[in-house]
Structure 1
Amino acid sequence: MKALSIKQPWASIIAYGIKDIENRTWKTNFRGRIFIHASAKIVEEVDFTTQQTALLFENGIWHPDRGFTEELNITSAIIGEVIIVDCVINHESIWADKTFMYECDETGEEPIGKPIYNWVLENAILYDKPIFNVKGKLSFWNFEK
């Protein structure tokens, strides 16, 4: 099955089913279930919106005094699965990074700069026992249990 390496805390937030979008600079036509691989690197500073912060707090994986739960520090492991159901620009999700658009007389709307693609995710599964010591790769890659 295909796998995608994602830095923490994003990988766990997806696996928990909280984050329903994966933002990428490249479009995918792939639709289906993939493994979520927590890459070796953790994003040290993440700026969450007020809505995102509230959702993380409500789901018990972040607390203003204690930070993230330990699960969000797992790296180099397959931690779950999710289904990619679509790939769009400017999804309405609070997790979707936006592409700034401008209107063009002949072609309609065109992106300013490089577009950001929002991969729409559903049916996330967080594993009770991650598969540790898995080295990630760029783009999609194959992993066999």
Structure 2
Amino acid sequence: MRCITIWQPWATLIALGEKKFETRSWATQHRDAIAIHAGKKVDKAICQKEPFRSILAKHGYTADTLPTGSVVAVCRLADCLEVTESYGETAMLESPSQSIVIGDLEKAFGLFELGRFAWELADVRRLPKPIPAKGMQGLWNWEETHDFL
């Protein structure tokens, strides 16, 4: 299964279903299952800012309790959209198959600058228990097999 390493708290926000788009400087043609790996880095300062602090608290997390160095969720990478407009609290995302306007909460959880790409994550399933794994840059192959996949 393909996997992507994401710093905390963003990996957990995806696993919780609170973050639906992962923003990257590069596009991908991958459209299939993908595992979400929480890297070892935790941005503790952002965890103290809103809306991060209250969303994490709603689910019982703080910067000190976020899982790291482990796969926390599996999902489907449904589309890769380019950021074509970004203004105020909204952004326009476009791909050959759709156009989406995202609002303030989603925009707060990503870097939606012109020319960047938003990976649309669908059918997110948080793992019952994080599975330790060593992360890598880019898309990488996670060789684990588990009953939940």
Shorter-normalised TM range: 0.7 to 0.9
Q: For 2:52 and 2:34, locate their aligned partners in 1 and report how far apart those are by CA, in whole Å.
A: 26
- Tell me the equivalent position of 1:28: 28
Say if 1:20 and 1:93, in contact at 8 Å, map to a contact too: no
- Tell me the equivalent position of 1:143: 142
Measured after TM superposition, the shift of residue 61 of structure 1 is 2.6
- Can you list the C-alpha shifts for 1:95-123, whole angstroms capped at 9, x where unaligned? 243334xxxxxxxxxxxxxx211111111
Give the length in aligned residue pairs.
123
The structure 2 residue matched to 1:78, chosen from 71, 95, 98, is 71
The structure 2 residue matched to 1:93, chosen from 98, 102, 121, is 102
Q: Structure 1 stretches of 5 or more lacking a match?
A: 101-114
Q: For 2:127 and 2:24, locate their aligned partners in 1 and report how far apart those are by CA, in whole Å.
A: 24
Identical-residue share of aligned pairs (%)? 27
> Does 1:68 find its partner at 2:68?
no
- Tell me the equivalent position of 1:11: 11
Say if 1:89 and 1:99, in contact at 8 Å, map to a contact too: no
Question: Is the radius of gyration larger for structure 1 or structure 2?
Answer: 1
Amino acid corresponding to residue 10 of structure 1 in structure 2? W
TM-score (norm 2): 0.71
- Tell me the equivalent position of 2:55: 56
**Aligned with 2:13: secondary structure?**
helix
Measured after TM superposition, the shift of residue 93 of structure 1 is 2.4
Change in 2 beyond 3 A, CA 1:88/1:39:
same
Q: For 1:98 and 1:18, locate their aligned partners in 2 and report how far apart those are by CA, in whole Å.
A: 16
- Tell me the equivalent position of 1:105: none
Q: For 2:38 and 2:77, locate their aligned partners in 1 and report how far apart those are by CA, in whole Å.
A: 17
TM-score (norm 1): 0.72
- Can you list the C-alpha shifts for 1:6-50, whole angstroms capped at 9, x where unaligned? 001000100111100001001111111111100011112228996
Amino acid corresponding to residue 98 of structure 1 in structure 2? F
Q: For 1:2 and 1:55, locate their aligned partners in 2 and report how far apart those are by CA, in whole Å.
A: 31
Amino acid corresponding to residue 82 of structure 1 in structure 2? C
Q: For 2:52 and 2:69, locate their aligned partners in 1 and report how far apart those are by CA, in whole Å.
A: 25
Change in 2 beyond 3 A, CA 1:54/1:38:
closer
